[in-house]
């Protein structure tokens, strides 16, 4: 059998959120920075993202990361994050999966009890501390890019829902954040369908009414993702969230297009965005732990360690801690006769 485009990957998850890591089969991508490499993939090599994330090799909640040689002299490795409808500048769960895979497979030397490394994401350098024991990464803590609030307590009009009060904050992606309670939600797995539908509607309306562009990286523009926030169920958590990752484009006239997938974890960049909004409201100070619960009851711990400035915005520097686990290793191939070289989506789950 003649096969082409053989990709070696390690599958992992961070507190429930899957993060596939491509470790072989792609030597490099054109571009002077990881951001430029991300843009090249988006504009000229998007078949890789589609092939790895769509069926039959992927599914709606899947994420994928491509390990690349770093372009910054301080970085140990670079990585491009690929999700269902975009290339995020940064992702907390994917950072945890990438760091864990690099260390546990020996691509980067593990030093116990603590390994420090620097990863180069499209959004910039990410400094990582990995607590290690017995060849296993027990905890990943990283310093994220500066986070900031762009809008606070803004009322938007959402068709079919009415007036919804939201925050918009950046934590590596732009999030629109709304309280779940007034929407009749408790953020449980049984509410998954309603959470996705409502979250996608709020995101679409917010993008129309609250434009936003990263002042230092204009390539990151618009609200990528929605987050519903509520009181915790876990006794150690301060808040609970449910983040909705889009799997298609919403059409107000076709409710069947309101599709997405819930982040199975407490969401890394979403936690950073939430902390930035809380800090801007005077509800979270520096050097205080903020424990965020996801829909599965898993926890991330965030902390704001400094104030900063991003263009016209007052910003904060967040750290985030969590854990990832490797679940498998595989080679993914493309048969030249495969009728779906870029995968496919079907409306029952997409």
Name the residue ranges covered by the structural domains of the chain: 4-144+325-334, 147-318
**What is the tens place of the pLDDT at every residue in 207-240?**
999 999 999 988 889 999 999 999 999 999 999 9
The predicted structure's pLDDT at residue 249: 66
Burial of 222 (0-12, 13-18, 19+ CB in 10 A): middle
Which residues, including other chains, have CB under 8 Å from residue 234's CB and lie 6 or more apart?
A: 240, 291, 293, 297, 299
Q: What is the crossing angle of helices 92-104 and 268-280, to 10°? A: 140
Q: Whole-prediction pTM value?
A: 0.91
- Write down the mean pLDDT value for the chain: 94
Q: What is the dihedral of CA 152, 158, 162, 168, to 10 degrees?
A: -10
**What is the tens place of the pLDDT at every residue in 256-272?**
566 788 999 999 999 99
Q: 4-144+325-334: which CATH architecture?
A: Roll (3.10)
Confidence of residue 350 (pLDDT cuts 50, 70, 90): confident
Confidence of residue 166 (pLDDT cuts 50, 70, 90): very high
The predicted structure's pLDDT at residue 80: 98
Confidence of residue 196 (pLDDT cuts 50, 70, 90): very high
Q: Give the whole-angstrom CA distance, residue 66 versus residue 120.
A: 12
Q: Is the pLDDT of residue 250 over 70?
A: no
Q: Report whether 187 contacts 285 (CB < 8 A).
A: no
What mean pLDDT is predicted for residues 54-79? 96
Asked whether the domain spanning 147-318 has the same topology as the one spanning 4-144+325-334, the reply is yes
Confidence of residue 306 (pLDDT cuts 50, 70, 90): very high
Confidence of residue 129 (pLDDT cuts 50, 70, 90): very high
DSSP 14-79: ETTEE-EEEEES----S-SSHHHHHHHHHHH-HHHHHHHHSBTT--TT--EEEEE--SSTT-SEEE
Q: Give the residue numbers annotated as catalytic, written as ranges.
A: 91
What percent of the chain shows pLDDT beyond 90? 86
**What is the tens place of the pLDDT at every residue in 168-192?**
999 989 999 999 999 999 999 999 9
What mean pLDDT is predicted for residues 107-122? 97
Q: Report whether 181 contacts 229 (CB < 8 A).
A: no
Omega before residue 113 within 30° of 0, cis: yes
CATH fold label, 147-318 = Diaminopimelate Epimerase; Chain A, domain 1 (3.10.310)
């Amino acid at each position: 059998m003649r096969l082409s485009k053989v990709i070696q990957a390690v599958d992992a998850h961070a507190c429930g959120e899957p993060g596939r890591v491509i470790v072989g089969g792609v030597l490099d991508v054109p571009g002077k920075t990881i951001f430029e490499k991300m843009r090249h993939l988006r504009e000229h090599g998007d078949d890789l993202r589609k092939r790895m994330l769509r069926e039959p090799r992927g599914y709606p909640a899947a994420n994928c990361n491509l390990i690349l040689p770093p372009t910054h002299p301080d970085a140990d490795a670079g990585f491009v994050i690929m999700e269902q409808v975009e290339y995020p500048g940064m992702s907390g769960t994917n950072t945890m999966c990438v760091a864990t895979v690099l260390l546990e497979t020996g691509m980067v030397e593990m030093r116990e009890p603590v390994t420090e490394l620097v990863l180069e994401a499209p959004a910039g350098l990410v400094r990582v501390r990995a607590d290690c024991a017995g060849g296993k990464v027990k905890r990943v803590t990283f310093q994220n890019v500066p986070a900031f609030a762009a809008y606070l307590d803004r009322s938007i009009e959402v068709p079919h829902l009415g007036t919804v009060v939201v925050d918009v904050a950046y934590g590596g992606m732009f999030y629109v954040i709304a309280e779940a309670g007034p929407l009749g939600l408790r953020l449980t797995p049984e509410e998954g369908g309603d959470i996705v539908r409502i979250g996608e509607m709020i995101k679409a309306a917010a993008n129309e009414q609250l434009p936003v562009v990263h002042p230092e990286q204009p390539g990151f523009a618009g609200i990528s993702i929605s987050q519903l926030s509520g009181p915790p169920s876990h006794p150690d958590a301060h808040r609970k969230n449910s983040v909705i990752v889009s799997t298609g484009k919403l059409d107000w006239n076709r409710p069947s297009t309101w599709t997405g997938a819930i982040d199975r974890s407490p969401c890394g960049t979403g936690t950073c965005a939430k902390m930035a909004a809380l800090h801007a409201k005077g509800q979270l100070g520096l050097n205080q732990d903020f424990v965020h619960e996801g829909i599965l009851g898993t926890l991330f711990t965030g902390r704001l360690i400094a104030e900063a400035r991003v263009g016209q915005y007052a910003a904060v520097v967040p750290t985030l801690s969590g854990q990832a686990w490797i679940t498998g290793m595989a080679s993914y191939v493309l048969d030249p006769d495969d009728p779906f070289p870029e995968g496919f989506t079907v409306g029952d789950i997409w």
